[in-house]
């Protein structure tokens, strides 16, 4: 879904711009962007489901896959498998990560994240899609470990913790770009 990838990159670029130039506005924008992205992704899934039904209606052979020749459950199962499962998995993982990050942060007196970070992580997971959320999580941990190692090697980190505040969005953008590149390689 190239449209979803383009939308994801635009939203993440806007959030990154707000993070750099308007950090006081980021918390409100991050939460709003997450819920707007949820709406957009499920709207696209609905639209694709409707389009698939319309396509099958126009083809005499494909009409055999619709009622009265087949139960409506066949089309519903096809649509859920094809258009809904990936976004629902990504949404579930984003919600789990959001709730876990907020609970852990609250339990440890806001030590782990700035207020906008759980929203940025959840938005990155959601917009990376399925299975992109797995790549995003792995890349995020790898970059965070490398970031920490860099600070340790250069001696800039004594006993203080290195913040991942500026890593959430660039890693999400990179993950989506790589995932889109390999799913839709440029034509030669």
pLDDT at 188 (0 to 100): 45
Residue 20 falls inside a structural domain: yes
In the predicted structure, residue 23 carries a pLDDT above the cut 60: yes
Q: What is the pTM of this model?
A: 0.87
Residue 93 falls inside a structural domain: yes
Between 112 and 40, whose confidence is greater?
40
In the predicted structure, residue 157 carries a pLDDT above the cut 80: no
Supply the mean pLDDT for the chain: 89
Instruction: Give the range among 32-36, 153-157, 176-180 with minimum mean pLDDT.
Output: 153-157
Tally of residues, the chain: 188
Residue 164 falls inside a structural domain: yes
pLDDT at 163 (0 to 100): 77
Number of domains in the chain: 1
Q: CA quadruple 20, 26, 29, 35: dihedral positive or negative?
A: positive
Residue 188 falls inside a structural domain: no
Range of the domain at 119: 2-183
The pLDDT of 83-99, averaged and rounded, is: 97
Between 154 and 12, whose confidence is greater?
12
In the predicted structure, residue 87 carries a pLDDT above the cut 90: yes
114's tokens? 């700035």
Residue 114 falls inside a structural domain: yes
Per-residue DSSP letter, 161:
P
H-type helices in the chain, by residue range?
2-21, 23-58, 72-79, 85-107, 117-128, 132-154, 168-183
Instruction: Give the range among 51-60, 113-122, 136-145, 156-165 with minimum mean pLDDT.
Output: 156-165
């Amino acid at each position: 879904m190239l449209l979803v990838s383009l939308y994801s990159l635009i939203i993440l670029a806007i959030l990154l711009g707000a993070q750099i130039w308007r950090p006081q506005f980021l918390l409100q924008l991050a939460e709003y962007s997450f819920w707007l992205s949820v709406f957009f992704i499920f709207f696209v899934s609905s639209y694709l489901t409707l389009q698939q039904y319309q396509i099958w209606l126009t083809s005499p052979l494909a009409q055999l896959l619709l009622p009265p020749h087949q139960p409506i459950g066949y089309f519903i199962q096809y649509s859920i498998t094809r258009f809904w499962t990936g976004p629902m998995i990504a949404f579930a993982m984003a919600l789990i990560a959001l709730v876990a990050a907020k609970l852990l942060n609250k339990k440890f007196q806001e030590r782990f994240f700035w207020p906008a970070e759980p929203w940025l992580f959840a938005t990155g997971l959601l917009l990376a899609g399925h299975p992109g959320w797995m790549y995003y999580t792995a890349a995020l941990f790898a970059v965070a470990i490398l970031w920490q190692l860099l600070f340790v090697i250069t001696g800039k980190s004594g006993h203080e913790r290195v913040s991942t505040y500026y890593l959430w969005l660039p890693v999400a953008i990179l993950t989506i770009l790589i995932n889109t590149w390999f799913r839709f390689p440029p034509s030669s």
